Structures are given as C-alpha cells and as structure tokens.
Amino acid sequence: MASFNKITIVGYLGRDPELRYTPSGTAVCDFSVATSERRRDATGESNDITTWFRVSVWGKQAEFANQYLAKGRLVYIEGRLRQEEFTDREGNRRTSLQVNASDVQFLGPRPDDATAPPKPPPQTATENPGDRSDDDIPF
C-alpha cells in the first residue's frame, strides 16, 4: 500500500522570506511560519502553544512568495512535512519541522496597504480572503 504525506498550515511568517537560486537557476524561497493554539492545563489556566515550521517554496511560487510575503503576514501553506535533526551550537541534538510547499496562498491585507484586500498571483489563490472571519483562524 502506498503512503501519503500532506500538511496544511495557516500561520504567520516569523521572518522575511529569503530567495536564492540553485546552480541550475531554479528559485528557492525559505521562510518560517508559526501556528498557535490555546489549551487549558489541569488547573484550568489557558496556555498558548506555538509551533514553528521552516518552509521552502520552489520555482515561480518562490519568486511570488519573496515578492508578496513579509514578516507577520498571514499565509496558507500546503505541502509535505519532514522532521529534521541537527546539532545546535551548544552541541545539543534538536529537531525542526521542514515543509516542502506545493501551494502557497497569501491571506490578509498586503503589508503596504492594510485597507485593501490582497492581490495574489492568479495561480496561487483560489479563495477570497474576505470570506474569512476571526472565528476561522485556529489561534
């Protein structure tokens, strides 16, 4: 039986995107996305839990992401999830969640015009961000 790996994330960019090109000329854009959820502990107190994802976008979408995204911007990501292990500067073993994005949709207002709805590239947006309410956001 075949296996399947797909993740959907709606979160906020933690840093500005970084665009680079492979030696063959393919664009790659890297950025981080944070999601938050509120949970109650045993005492009934609410705690926010934040999960960070490192995201890589390839090709034309990478160029669009670099052009339209900025730190703090709300974004919808679909892709494949991979857990990576590394050793930090202090010698401790760490893990990170890496997403190889297949679809990126820009949500919320553009950073340079907070009053206008976003105008994403036609191939990356399939829904109207104005149809969302604060109740639709999972944090």
Query: For residue range 57-116, what is the model confidence (pLDDT) as tens digits?
Result: 999 999 999 999 999 999 999 999 999 898 889 999 988 899 999 999 998 776 555 444
pTM of the model: 0.70
Query: For residue range 54-74, what is the model confidence (pLDDT) as tens digits?
Result: 999 999 999 999 999 999 999
Tell me which residue has tokens 């907070």.
114
What integer pLDDT is reported at residue 43 of this predicted model? 86
Give yes or no for residue 3 having a pLDDT over 70: yes
Give yes or no for residue 7 having a pLDDT over 80: yes
What integer pLDDT is reported at residue 121 of this predicted model? 46
What integer pLDDT is reported at residue 110 of this predicted model? 63
Please state the domain extents for the chain.
Answer: 7-121
Work out the end-to-end distance of the chain between its first and last CA atoms, rounded to an integer number of angstroms: 35
Tell me which residue has tokens 């820009």.
106
Under CATH, what is the fold of the domain 7-121? OB fold (Dihydrolipoamide Acetyltransferase, E2P) (2.40.50)
The three-state secondary structure class of 79 is strand
